[in-house]
Structure 1
Amino acid sequence: MNLTKYRDHLIGLISPLSKVFAATGITPNQITLLSLLLGIAAGTLYGLNVAYAGAAALLLSGLLDFIDGGVARINKKASKFGAAIDWIVDKYVDCIVLLGIGLGGMVDMRLVAVAIIGSMINTFIKPVVYAEIGYQQKHDGKIKDPLEGIGIFGRPETVITLIVFSCLSAYTFFGYSAMTIAVAIVAIGTNLSALQRVFYLYWNRNRY
């Protein structure tokens, strides 16, 4: 499943919140910064083995990641810088949270490393496509590339998986902690998704 291709629908669901934020006069980039700060807080809480609070901070960070784009559209403040920094902050948050989980001793750091690699490569493929293939078509300030719906696992799935299993962190399944299972799912899902995107580009190499 790839929830990224339903991003516009998800943004529509939280549009009432976006309108509330837009009315306050806060800028999209300020909301993105808040998302980063909450992501850092989430990573810190995971590092302190406070999984429930870490999940709450990660959830708020994820919501703000959707809201900043909504505010940009409502107040007509979309910018290339904002679109770029949004991507960068997303990856910082993902890495910080996964590192926090590992450094807190909740999951083996080797598994965390594989999850971080998968998360980064799965996203890195897209700017490579933009740079090397030259795909530049935009919709509402964001590039809508052919890879958007390719792959079974993306950032939304990563965030949801970590939050859900954080709520189950007091339990073990088949001898493994809930957080170990969560990071394993992220590691397998993101790396498999990255491979799917590579294969898609290869099979469609004559189209671009």
Structure 2
Amino acid sequence: MISSTDIKLKIQEFLKPFAELAGSIGVSPNVITILGFLFSIFSGIAIAFSNLTLGIIFFTISGLCDMLDGIIARVNGKTTNFGSFLDSFLDRYADFFPLAGIATLGFYLQDFNLFIFSLLSIVGSFATSYARAKAESLGLECKVGLLERPERFFILLAGFLTGFLVEFLSILAILSNFTAFQRLICAMEKLKK
């Protein structure tokens, strides 16, 4: 069975030549981070206005930027605390905008499932990230759980591409919140020691 870590490593290996090329022409990883953030906004707006094709394109570009920025930084020796903070900070917005676009579309179409699963996916994504950050601020490592950001991206992308958006969104909503509670339990167990 392929683990999410294996998938992440394979994607990083695939993107490494692009990262090296970007670094060789002076592309900053922070610029890629900001571009990913901007494309996530464009994605959310396009989805909210029912232009799913454009929304999917922008969403995919945003996801690629998110995968590429860290690789560019590592491959070219440009990792910084500021870059790491900027990436984590803007990732929360990049999580929000496409899902908010879907929630807006669901509200407009009066599709309760689309609307509610989008909101549950937003809170699950935020709670997962917050649980890890808070645990780390307390000196704990708490990276456990089923879904990291790349898995959330691919689940939502699969929903867009297959046309089963509500079904994949329900999976995302359930598993992202499950992951958040896995991290809660992890932190509780470590804090009791």
- Give TM-score, length-normalised by structure 2: 0.87
Deviation of 1:5 after TM superposition, in Å, equals 7.4
Aligned to 2:152: 158
Matched, 1:16 2:17: yes
In the alignment, the residues of structure 2 paired with residue 5 and residue 32 of structure 1 have an alpha-carbon distance, to the nearest angstrom, of: 23
Secondary structure of 2:191's partner? coil
Which residue of the other structure, out of 117, 129, 148, is the alignment partner of 2:123?
117
SS for the counterpart of 1:104 is: helix
CA distance in structure 2 between the partners assigned to 1:48 and 1:59 by the alignment: 18
Tell me how far 1:8 sits from its aligned partner: 4.2
What are the superposed Cα offsets for residues 91-126 of structure 1, whole Å, 9 maximum, x if unpaired?
101110100011123653333222111110011011
Relative to structure 1, the CA distance from residue 194 to residue 117 in structure 2 (aligned partners, 3 Å threshold; closer, same or farther) is: same
Q: Percent identity?
A: 26
Residue 206 of structure 1 and its aligned partner are, at CA, apart by: 5.0
SS in 1 for 2:171: helix
Q: Alpha-carbon deviation of 1:188?
A: 0.4
Letter in 1 for 2:116: R
* Structure 2 counterpart of 1:120, one-letter code: F
- What RMSD, in angstroms, separates the aligned Cα atoms of the two structures? 2.1
Matched residue, 1:174: none
Structure 2: 5+ residue stretches without partners = none
Give the letter for the 1:195 counterpart. Answer: F
Find the aligned partners of 2:130 and 2:62 in 1 and give their Cα distance: 21
Query: Any residues of structure 2 matched to 1:40-79 within 5 Å, and which?
Result: 40-79=41-80
CA distance in 2, matches of 1:202, 1:104: 38
Bigger proportion of residues as helix: 2
Length, aligned pairs only: 187
Change (3 A) 1:29 1:125: same
- How far off is 1:154 after superposition? 2.3
Deviation at 1:6, TM superposition (A): 5.3
State the 1:203 CA deviation. Answer: 3.0
